Structure 1
Amino acid sequence: MRLIFILPLLILLQGCKATTYTNTPTPTLPQLDYVAATSEQTIPTPEDFYRLTPEQITALEDFLQQEHVVNLANYKQAFLYIKKRLVNFNYQGKNYFASQSLADNGGNCMALAMLTLAIANEMQVELRFQVMHTMPVLLDISDNVAVTSDHVRTLMYETVEDQEGAMFGRNRIKIDYFPDKYDRGGKIINQDEFFAMFYRNLAADAIFAGKLDYAYRLLNKSLTLAPDYEPAINMQAVVLRKLGDLKSAEKLYRYGLEVADNKISLLSNYHFLLRLQGRTEQASLIKEQLLNLDDQSPYAWYLQAVDAMAQQDYQSAKIYLNKFLKNTHYFHKAYYDLAKVYFQLGEPQQAKKAISLALTHSSSREDKDVYLAKLNWLTSLQ
């Protein structure tokens, strides 16, 4: 069934210039029926994420007293310390808390962002986080669940009293962790949403460790901090589906479709839930909404295409890939996937065009060799 949006009602009064608007009720998180089992594993607080040990704080203070550091503005001091710590940093894909990341000199980009927050907090440096849209890295796929990594970068700002005639806003330093040429900057988020992202990452770890109740509780905390955070809404619905509470899962999908900007994953997983229940007609309506959705999300369409190809749903994959390439025309691998889809659909000429575009946008010799070989093979078939 199609989601009904409640919009402000515009009432034009004849013979009068006044315009009246009704108040739009703000959607609230639905009451969920599922009750998590009692667990000895406690939910960490946000302060736990960025709290440093006394020894680590002492080491930071010693660094700040060095001759080449002591007279710098505090945001530059913080940057130098983080830069020093990033030398030989081991990207482990782990959601470490700041103290562990600093002790082990490792972690993923969210762990590094948390470490940056910890240093900034000790030095009273103001910072903000920016969501980065990156090519999805599938961390794991099982039971129709695909988990991708989150990516943020940190913006550290000079304090007002330290500024010296900055004409166009405050001075700042961008700290990006493991940047890629395909990254695209997204919105600036506050600390609550950043913490919500971290809880969501911990929940993903819990899911693949088989700790669904713990994942459920972590996601509840995430949504308490950021009730309209779509990835947490989506993941919580998936967890509830795996726990057998399909009714609560559907409540969350409906709620998410009301509040979230990005609806692609919500519609896709809602469609799967309806199919699982044998609600074929409603599932078809949701699938139609997904196929007709005009969403400029950089990489969500690509994930949908990969999933559709795995299910041999090549017609849907073609639509998803074209939606993706409309806004991310430089991503050569998507053209190659599109060529494979066109070939499966019996459209060899379109497949050749797609591979030619893959060749145009690729830069590595290895990729070019693969694409050229496929293009020559397609040409030989005619």
Structure 2
Amino acid sequence: MAMYKVTIIMLFLGCFGCQSTRLPHLQSSTSDLWLSEEHFSGDVFAITSPDDIFALSEQTKQQLRYITGSKSLMPERTKAVMHYILKLADSELVYQHSATTTAQQTMQHGNANCLSLAILTYSIARELGLQAVFQDVNIPEYWTSQNDTTWLNGHVNLRIKQSLIADTASSAISFGSDIIVDFDPYVLKKQFPSKTVSKQRIIAMFYNNKAAEAFADNNIAQAYRYYQASADADAEFAVTWSNLAVLYRQTGHYAKAELAYNYSLQLDPESLNTLANLAFLYQHIGDTKKAKLLQHQVAMKRQNNPYYYVMLGNETLQAKLYDNAKTYYRHAIKLNNKTHEAYFGLAVVYLELNQKEEAAYYLGRAKRNTLSENEQKRYQSKLDVLNQVARHY
């Protein structure tokens, strides 16, 4: 089976699933990993400050104070906050994986990914005196594509602490269970392992997302600024250096790219994404021996991941290699027959081949195998359009 190489930039649609690991010989200075901004094209503008990422408007603060004004005990206050957040989620918030927004932007516009939703929930909780911590959820490697770019996803949620909270206003202590706030039903159902991450790590993730958005818009100079801001927020976040290396590779700074990849691997030696991208770099510059060694290492670890084959299917579909795409999607389904993205990929393949009956069948399978209500609606709308076309002809 042919392997089609891709360059991956990480977009943290929530949180990222790798914990930084300090090694004994970790490079003490990162100064040699940077270039001057004049090497990159694009229009630069001011970076959102860390305070502004979490800030709420005075109007929002007043709403929160009104909602919880009569709730003196922490459990009651937490319950009121949860009702407020759930009401927002049901009526005003729309999950959009590419929308990384500040807390107040999420309130104003309603479109947000799970990183942004976690940031908003954290800001609401902290405004009301609740103890909240971010959690990195260790989901399997999972990719999505947008604007000819492939993104590796992560996930974050929020834990509102209830196990031992002293309420200074009422001199009460709550011993209730902690509350996990997560906007993804699939993640909640699977109960993936998670670990607490710092607020600084969340800020670094936010800047990485914004860099990815700028990169997708071909504003390389602004993406570079965001990576600098991310490193300032949390220099040990391995992903920043891996993403920076991708930027260097795509702008022809190959020596800097190799340095950045290797520094990222010092922080997180187990990152398959970084290893795969470093292999791509070696292949690109003609060092095939190193490239093949890394490619084999990555392929062996990804061979049981259905989403890896979905990604390969998407890449070959984009290249109009329909037979290859079908092979990859079917292999993904063989590994996990609940992989709705693979059924959708097959639907697109058959639609491209003008085989509408098969396309409708696989769209139906995709709809039945997703837990997301938004995805179900999306698949149903495509089915409706397909059925209308079929009736027309």
Match of 1:266 in 2: 274
Alignment partner, residue 102 of structure 2: 97
Question: 2:310, 2:328 within 8 Å by CA — same for their partners in 1?
Answer: no
Superposition TM-score, scaled by structure 1 size: 0.68
For 1:195 and 1:32, locate their aligned partners in 2 and report how far apart those are by CA, in whole Å: 21
Contact in 2 for aligned 1:230/1:262 (Cα 8 Å) = no
The DSSP-based 3-state class of the residue aligned with 2:262 is helix
Note closer, same or farther for the CA distance 1:244–1:304 as it changes in structure 2 (3 Å cut): same
Alignment partner of 1:235 is 2:238:
no
Deviations 1:175-216 (A, max 9, x none): 111322675524322212122211111111111122111111
2:383 alignment counterpart: none
Q: Which amino acid aligns with 1:177?
A: F
Q: Would you say the 8 A contact 1:265–1:300 is kept in 2?
A: no
Choose which of 75, 80, 88 in structure 2 pairs with 1:77.
80
Which of 146, 151, 173 is equivalent to 2:150?
A: 146
Pick aligned residue for 1:60 from 59, 64, 68: 64
For 2:150, give the aligned amino acid: A
Moved more, 233-242 or 147-156: 147-156
Deviations 1:291-327 (A, max 9, x none): 3448998956764675578787x99x9999989988x
User: What corresponds to 2:26 in structure 1?
Assistant: 26
Q: State the distance in 2 between where 1:34 and 1:53 align.
A: 37
Deviation at 1:48, TM superposition (A): 0.9
Most deviating of 117-126 and 81-90: 81-90
Quote the residue 2:51 is aligned against. Answer: 47
Query: Aligned partners of 2:314 and 2:289: how far apart in 1?
Result: 24
Counterpart mapping for 1:96-115 below 5 A: 96-115=101-120
Question: Which amino acid in structure 1 is aligned with residue 216 of structure 2?
Answer: F
Alignment of 1:256 with 2:264, yes or no, is yes
Deviation of 1:230 after TM superposition, in Å, equals 3.7
1:156 has 2:157 as partner: no
Q: In structure 2, what is the equivalent of residue 341 of structure 1?
A: none
**Which residue of structure 1 aligns with residue 198 of structure 2?**
190
Query: 1:218 maps to which residue?
Result: 226
1:276 aligns with 2:284: yes
Q: What do you get for the CA RMSD once the two structures are aligned?
A: 4.3
Gaps of 5+ in 1: 1-22, 339-358, 367-382
Distance 1:298 1:191 in 2: 32
Larger Cα-atom Rg = 1
Q: Does 1:117 find its partner at 2:118?
A: no
* Larger RCO: 1 or 2 (CA < 8 Å, sep 6+): 2
Report Cα offsets for 1:234-275 as digits up to 9, x if no partner: 221111122221111111111222221542111211111122
The size of the alignment, in residue pairs, is 324
Supply the distance in 2 between the matched residues of 1:103 and 1:225 (Cα, whole angstroms): 26
Look up the match of 2:385.
Answer: none
TM alignment of 1:224-373, pairs within 5 A: 224-260=232-268, 262-293=270-301, 303=311, 307=315, 331=339
**Distance in 2 separating the partners of 1:129 and 1:255:** 26
Q: CA deviation at 1:155?
A: 0.7
1:356-375 CA distance string (max 9 Å, x none): xxx9xx858x9xxxxxxxxx
Equivalent position of 2:179 in the other structure: 173
Going from structure 1 to structure 2, the CA distance change for 1:177 and 1:95 (only over 3 Å counts) comes to same
Aligned partner of residue 37 in structure 2, secondary structure? coil
Q: Does the Cα contact within 8 Å between 1:29 and 1:227 map onto a contact in 2?
A: no
Of 107-116 and 285-294, the range deviating more from structure 2 = 285-294
Distance in 2, matches of 1:257 and 1:135, equals 17
Distance 1:229 1:290 in 2: 21
Given that 1:110 and 1:150 are in contact with CA atoms closer than 8 Å, whether structure 2 keeps it comes out as no
Distance 2:310 2:55 in 1: 37
Q: How far 1:113 moved relative to its partner?
A: 0.9
TM superposition shift of 1:41: 0.9
For the 8 Å contact 2:332–2:342, the answer to whether it is kept is: no
Counterpart CA distance in 2 for 1:301 and 1:225 is 34
Distance 1:59 1:335 in 2: 44
Distance 1:160 1:329 in 2: 44
Identity of aligned residues (%): 21
SS in 2 for 1:86: helix
**SS of 2:133's equivalent?**
strand
